[in-house]
Amino acid sequence: MESKNVPLVAELLRDAPKNWGKWGPDDEVGSLNYLTRAQVLRGVASVRSGKTFTLQIQMGNPAGDPVWPGRSQARRLNVMDKGHYLCGKGPKFPGEAEYADDMMIMYLQGSTQYDALGHVWYGDQLWNGYDAKSTIGGLEKASVLPIAERGVVGRGVLIDMARHRGKDVLAPGETFTHLDLLAAAEMQGVRIEKHDILVIRTGWIGSFYKRDQAEFYREFVEPGLTYSPELVEWFHRMEIPNLVTDTIANEVTVDPVSGVALPLHNALMRNLGVALTEIAQLDPLAADCADDQQWTFLYTAAPLKVVNGSGAPVNPVVIK
């Protein structure tokens, strides 16, 4: 599609629903407000075996870390180790204890992460109507910090779209809708309920570690959910607090119908306040769910408390 034919995201979403003001003029966590104490207990009630899973990818994996093109990989650097002691540069402590220290340089969105609700916007307004100028120099409003301070706990439901389509991994640009999610849920014998934390597996991030990186990044187009007014209305009606996927952007990179990039970041996150968790590693969890046919669980997560951050790494823990 020629870029001159691509509508503005503001035009595409002109009649789309918004939750602005629903939780007051100062709200910064949006649909996470749906995760009340009753929802935490509903999550706890889904625990049966005590099996646990962590959903973060490894940071600084020698095979590379999957990141949005243009972002660099996390780099971990040793600043102190035995080598320093061997050449007489290690600090001397009473009793001669020695230590290793390191630092990491990374994009805050360069691993499994929570997006701040103010991470993406259009029309000069962020989530809840905050001025886009409040992002200059660091997010003053709707940063990742309020999400980190609050934490995210509720009932999670895994929908395995790759398995539903009989594949290990969906193809680049392969799309699916809420109707496909419902069909996959039916096949799995599970119901997506109101206020569920929606966890969707495509196999994409797992495939990063198995395929040639040039191929992974070629004309970078991920598989994922695709925009439609009906899909947005479904998320709105279901009051989904959090969308977690094993892709870098949680949606097909460019909407194949309108040509607009990342419309769901705006329709779901900016307008409805749905928290987005990206780059999750879901393959081991999905394999276990297929094995024991338990697709729901207690989902718990809290990103790092980065002041003014537009996102922050997270290692969600799932308990089945």
For the chain, what is the radius of gyration of the CA atoms?
21
| Residue 220 binds to ligand UVW (criterion: CB under 6 A) | no
- Residue 133 phi, psi dihedral angles, 5° rounding: -65, -15
| Residue 120 binds to ligand UVW (criterion: CB under 6 A) | yes
With CB under 6 A as the contact rule, which of the stretches 37-45, 97-105, 115-123, 175-183 interacts with ligand UVW? 115-123
Binder of ligand UVW out of 185, 240, 244, 249 (CB under 6 A): 249
Helix H or strand E encompassing 296: strand 296-301
What is the closest distance, in whole angstroms, from the C-beta atom of residue 191 to ligand UVW in the complex?
29
Of 21, 31, 12, 39, whose CA–CA distance to 300 is shortest? 39
| Residue 246 binds to ligand UVW (criterion: CB under 6 A) | no
Q: Which residue has 């393959």 as its token pair?
A: 283
Binder of ligand UVW out of 29, 262, 264, 318 (CB under 6 A): 262
| Residue 244 binds to ligand UVW (criterion: CB under 6 A) | no
What is the closest distance, in whole angstroms, from the C-beta atom of residue 2 to ligand UVW in the complex?
22
Binder of ligand UVW out of 31, 39, 109, 245 (CB under 6 A): 109
Binder of ligand UVW out of 248, 280, 298, 312 (CB under 6 A): 248
Binding residues for ligand UVW, how many (CB under 6 A)? 10
Smaller CB separation from ligand UVW, 43 or 66: 66
Burial 95-131 (b: 16+ CB within 10 A, else e): eeeeeeeeeeebbbbbbbbbbbbbbbbbeebbbbebe
With CB under 6 A as the contact rule, which of the stretches 34-42, 113-121, 127-135, 179-187 interacts with ligand UVW? 113-121
Cα→Cα distances 105→59, 184, 234, Å: 11, 39, 39
147 touches 27 (CB < 8 A)? no
What is the closest distance, in whole angstroms, from the C-beta atom of residue 226 to ligand UVW in the complex?
15
d(CA 311, CA 307): 10
d(CA 301, CA 285): 15
What is the closest distance, in whole angstroms, from the C-beta atom of residue 71 to ligand UVW in the complex?
8
Of 268, 317, 303, whose CA–CA distance to 31 is shortest? 268
Site string for ligand UVW, 69-108 (x = CB under 6 A): ----------------------------------------
Task: Say how many residues make up the chain.
Answer: 320
| Residue 278 binds to ligand UVW (criterion: CB under 6 A) | yes
> Which long-range contacts (C-beta less than 8 Å, at least 24 apart) are formed by 18-23?
18/271, 18/272, 19/236, 19/271, 19/272, 19/273, 20/127, 20/128, 20/129, 20/271, 21/128, 21/129, 22/273, 23/273
d(CA 112, CA 245): 10
| Residue 9 binds to ligand UVW (criterion: CB under 6 A) | no
| Residue 255 binds to ligand UVW (criterion: CB under 6 A) | no
Smaller CB separation from ligand UVW, 246 or 278: 278
What is the closest distance, in whole angstroms, from the C-beta atom of residue 45 to ligand UVW in the complex?
32
- Where do contacts with ligand UVW occur on this chain (CB under 6 A)? 68, 109, 115, 119-120, 248-249, 262, 265, 278
